Amino acid sequence: MIEWGPIAIIAICFTVIVITFTFKNEIKRAIRNKSAKKNAEPITETLIEVFTADENYTNQEPQDEIALCLDEVDNKLWLNAFNKQEYSVALLELEKHILTLEYPNEILKCKILSAYVTSMIDFDRSIELFMELIDSHPNECEIYVWFSQIYSSRKLYIQAIAILDAGLDNISKDPTLVLLKAEFLGEMGSHQEGIDCIQSSIDKKTFTSIIYYTLAKLYKSLGDPEEQLNTFIKGFQLNKLNDEHLLIFANELEATGRPKESLYILKILEKKNPKDFKTIGHIGNAYFKLGLYDLALISYTEADKLCEGKQEWIKANIGNIYHNIGFYSSATDHLKKAVKLSAEYEFALERLTQAVEAKNKEVNIQKELLKQAQEFFLQRL
């Protein structure tokens, strides 16, 4: 799963407009919009997986998904440079890689990526490159996807949606473009419009896992947890949810006070992939919520082995259980390891402090008890 990390971007306010011009005129107007372009500064994007934990369980937040072609490009040197913000180097690596390619579809994918990376260096030139690609390949979905990203990553959702609408004019009701448009509408706060966009453009009989997930996410943002749940259940009952979205569904069930149902989904995932530490760790969460602490500890310990002790949230939850049952030394040991893995992990830091205090309290109680026992024997002299 591709995940793009949180980005500090200057907030830009727009008056909602009705887009009535042709696609090229819309883009030209965006180029002339100097105030918008001024705020379209290069940004940092990294591919990371983030987990957070509270005192009872971890919560893997649903991450936005985009139909990108990263995995289809063999040369990843450009990506390493991109993640280091070495955009000129990334661009050079892509250009060098293009020269080694034979098939037109591979060359096109690299040219799309080059146009995107160029946006980090020269925004105007990036727009020109994307326009050239559209002129030569008007029915290529990925061009519109990536083109829209140079705007959406800068919170310029109106321009991004204009690009997707142009793509939909050429590729009618393409599900990838429809879903991305719905995502952008949701980012603008127009969650119901995003829902309507999907439901009016995509036949329900063709719904896939990502469609059910996107709808569920929009319902959640709309403040309608019941419809969010119904959407996930429908996808599950029709066997349409993939493993990733099943895990998210299980997490949502757990977060909304349905640990039994969450455990049921997680057990299905466990049968499919018994070595997945995320699934096993979340099974531990469900057991914890159900008060089955021994089973929870067994699951957490197994998950810790599977991830080779490299996940702070699992270490912290093991420490949390030991703390709750009064095994403060064991709790301290695991919580220290969690903090070592992530020095700013607030939950682990808080619980570590509590465990150390509880351990010291027991030591002081022991001293007081020994003192009382000594006095008992002294009184018998």
In a domain, 289, yes or no: no
In a domain, 311, yes or no: no
In a domain, 57, yes or no: yes
In a domain, 216, yes or no: no
pLDDT, tens digit (0-9, with 9 covering 90-100), for 180-228? 999 999 999 999 999 999 999 999 999 999 999 999 999 999 999 999 9
pLDDT of residue 352: 83
Q: What angle do CA 51, 350, 6 make, to 5 degrees?
A: 35
pLDDT of residue 33: 43
Q: Of 171, 203, 229, which residue constitutes the final position of a domain?
A: 171
Q: At residue 363, does pLDDT exceed 60?
A: yes
In a domain, 377, yes or no: yes
User: pTM, whole model, 2 decimals?
Assistant: 0.71
Q: Provide the residue range defining the domain that includes 320.
A: 316-381
Q: Of 155, 171, 187, which residue constitutes the final position of a domain?
A: 171
In a domain, 254, yes or no: no
CA gap 284, 275 in Å, rounded? 14
Q: Of 149, 171, 193, which residue constitutes the final position of a domain?
A: 171
In a domain, 265, yes or no: no
CA gap 292, 289 in Å, rounded? 8
Antiparallel, parallel or unpaired: β 52-53 and 58-59: antiparallel
pLDDT of residue 74: 53
Number of domains comprising the chain:
2
CATH number of the domain enclosing 29:
1.25.40
Q: Is the dihedral of CA 216, 218, 223, 227 positive or negative?
A: negative
pLDDT, tens digit (0-9, with 9 covering 90-100), for 223-278? 999 999 999 999 999 999 999 999 999 999 998 999 999 999 999 999 999 999 99
The answer to whether residues 44 and 7 touch, using CB atoms and an 8 Å cutoff, is yes
Backbone angles phi, psi at 344, to 5 degrees: -105, 20
In a domain, 180, yes or no: no
Q: Say which amino acid occupies 15.
A: T
